[in-house]
């Protein structure tokens, strides 16, 4: 019985460790739809990935984060700097997320850093 408990504990502990991770890359492009949705291509992470929504009606407090993120992406692109994104519900710790994915809802994007 003790071995089963230890096994389950280790299983859930390893899942928790893999769920939170970060990925770094360079900003290749920044896109905004006429509805205020912010997309970006980040090398090694995603192509045309949805990051957030700039419109207050959709984003609430998240809209302020999105505005700050948009500004930081512009700086990163202009200065050819590296950005780092953190994910908290991502079941796949690989940094390659694919094309046209929603990084917030699908992978739990919650934190951003400009620079190495």
Q: pLDDT (tens digit, 0 to 9) for every residue of the chain, 116 residues total?
A: 655 554 545 555 444 444 589 999 999 999 999 999 999 999 999 999 999 998 876 545 688 999 999 999 999 999 999 999 999 987 777 899 999 999 998 899 999 999 86
Cα 116 to Cα 46: distance, rounded to the nearest angstrom? 18
Which CATH number does the domain housing residue 36 bear? 2.40.50
SS (H, E, C) the chain: CHHHHHHHHHHHHHHHHHHCEEEEEEEEEEEECCCCEEEEEECCCEEEEEEEECCHHHHCCHHHHHHHHHHHHHHHHHHCCEEEEEECCCCCCCCCCEECCEHHHHHCEEEEEECC
Q: How many domains does the chain have?
A: 1
pLDDT of residue 93: 79
């Amino acid at each position: 019985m003790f071995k089963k408990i230890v096994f389950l504990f280790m299983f859930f502990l390893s899942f928790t460790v893999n769920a939170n991770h970060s990925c770094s890359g360079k900003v290749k492009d920044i896109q905004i739809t006429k509805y205020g949705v912010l997309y970006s291509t980040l090398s090694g992470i995603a192509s045309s990935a949805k990051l957030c929504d700039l419109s207050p009606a959709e984003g609430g407090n998240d809209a302020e984060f999105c505005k700050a993120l948009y500004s930081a992406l512009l700086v990163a692109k202009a200065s050819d700097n590296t950005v780092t994104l953190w994910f908290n519900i991502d079941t796949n710790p690989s940094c390659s997320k694919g094309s046209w994915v929603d990084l917030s809802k699908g992978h739990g994007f919650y934190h951003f850093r400009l620079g190495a």
